[in-house]
Amino acid sequence: MAKKIKIVPLSGTFMVTAIVGFLISMLFVFKLSPTWGVAFMIFFTIMIVAALISMTKAPVPEKEFEK
């Protein structure tokens, strides 16, 4: 039996943190240590993908329609 995946809306700061973290990893950390730079870039890329999935698939809360 397959479990249904529940997608929750993530905040905008989650996406901003992921983008800024990726850029810092690419520009600064990678120069100091390529291994850690690649590891952090993969981590922040996963965060960006999660934020994009959340933006496209998550249900809109009912209170957003009331405004």
Taking all residues of the chain, what is their mean pLDDT, rounded to a whole number? 87
Task: Answer for the pair 20, 32: CB distance below 8 angstroms, yes or no.
Answer: no
> pLDDT value at position 38?
97
Q: What is the pTM of this model?
A: 0.77
For residue 39, pLDDT beyond 60: yes
The predicted model gives 18-35 an average pLDDT of: 96
Name 63's Cβ contacts closer than 8 Å, sequence gap at least 6: none
For residue 67, pLDDT beyond 60: no
Measured on CA atoms in the order 28, 25, 52, 16, is the torsion positive or negative? negative
3-state secondary structure labels for all residues of 13-60? HHHHHHHHHHHHHHHHHHHHCHHHHHHHHHHHHHHHHHHHHHHHHCCC
The domain limits of the chain are 12-57
